[in-house]
C-alpha cells in the first residue's frame, strides 16, 4: 500500500519504531548521567574532594557514598596482599580496623571489603586509591576520612607484623617492606 507522499505504512512504522527506540536510549542515558552525578555529589560530600577527575576515579574504582569509608583501608589491604595472599591474622586485623571505622557487618562497604579480602584488588586500584587518599588528606573536611597519614602507616605496619615471625611478631617480608615504603612515600609527599 502506498501513500500520496510515497512512503508506505511499513516504512512509516519502522521509522516510528526507530525513533521510539532512540528516544528510550536517550532517556536511559540521561538517567545514567543523573545517577552518576548523584553518586559523584555523594562522594564529594563524603570525601571533601571537589576535583571532578578524582571523583570520576573514585566512581570508576567502584566506590559509592556507602562504600567510600573503605578507601582508607586500601593501603592496609595492599600490605596484606603484598606476599600474594591474606593470612587469617591479617584478615582478622583488617576486619577489626573496619569495625572501628564504623563499617557494619553485611553493609555494602563490608561486602566490598570481604570481596577484596577474598580476591586481590588490581595494582591500578591500589595506586589510584592511594593517590585519592592523599587528596582526601589534603581536604580533611570529608566526613569519611577522619584519619591521617601517620595512622594509615601505623595500620599498615601492624598488618605487616600480623603474620610474620613467631606468633605474629618479628619479621616483615621484603614485599611488605617495599609496600610500606611505597605507601608512606605516596601519603607523605603531599
Provide the 10 A C-beta neighbour count for residue 171. Answer: 13
Q: What is the 3-state secondary structure (H, E, C) of the chain?
A: CCCCCCCCHHHHHHHHHHHHHHHHHHHHHHHHHHHHHHHHHHHHHHHCCCCHHHHHHHHHCCCCCCCHHHHHHHHHHHHHHCCCCCCHHHHHHHHHHHHHCCCCCCCHHHHHHHHHHHCCCCHHHHHHHHHHHHHHHHCCCCCCCCCCHHHHHHHHHHHHHHCCCECCECCCCHHHHHHHHHHHHHHHCC
Whether 172 contacts 79, CB under 8 Å: no
> What is the pTM for the complete model shown?
0.72
pLDDT number for residue 3: 57
Residue 63 has phi, psi (to 5 degrees) of -80, 140
User: Residues of the chain whose pLDDT is less than 70?
Assistant: 1-6, 138-146, 163-170, 189-190
CA dihedral 123, 37, 47, 86 (to 10 degrees): -30
- Chain position carrying cell 516510528: 16
pLDDT for res 166: 46
| Cα angle 15, 19, 24; round to 5 | 150
Cell numbers that stand for 32 in this block: 545514567
Domain ranges of the chain: 52-188
Amino acid at each position: 500500500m502506498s501513500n500520496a507522499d510515497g512512503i508506505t505504512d511499513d516504512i512509516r512504522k519502522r521509522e516510528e519504531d526507530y525513533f521510539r527506540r532512540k528516544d528510550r536510549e536517550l532517556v536511559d542515558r540521561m538517567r545514567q548521567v543523573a545517577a552518576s552525578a548523584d553518586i559523584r555529589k555523594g562522594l564529594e560530600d563524603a570525601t571533601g574532594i571537589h576535583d571532578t577527575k578524582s571523583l570520576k576515579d573514585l566512581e570508576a574504582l567502584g566506590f559509592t557514598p556507602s562504600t567510600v569509608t573503605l578507601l582508607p583501608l586500601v593501603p592496609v589491604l595492599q600490605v596484606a596482599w603484598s606476599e600474594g595472599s591474606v593470612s587469617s591474622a591479617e584478615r582478622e586485623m583488617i576486619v577489626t580496623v573496619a569495625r572501628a571505622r564504623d563499617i557494619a557487618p553485611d553493609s555494602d562497604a563490608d561486602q566490598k571489603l570481604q570481596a577484596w579480602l577474598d580476591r586481590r584488588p588490581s595494582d591500578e586500584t591500589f595506586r589510584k586509591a592511594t593517590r585519592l587518599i592523599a587528596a582526601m588528606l589534603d581536604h580533611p573536611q570529608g566526613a569519611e576520612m577522619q584519619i591521617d597519614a601517620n595512622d594509615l602507616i601505623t595500620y599498615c605496619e601492624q598488618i605487616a607484623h600480623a603474620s610474620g615471625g613467631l606468633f605474629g611478631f618479628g619479621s616483615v617480608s621484603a614485599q611488605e617492606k617495599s609496600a610500606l615504603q611505597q605507601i608512606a612515600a605516596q601519603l607523605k609527599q603531599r
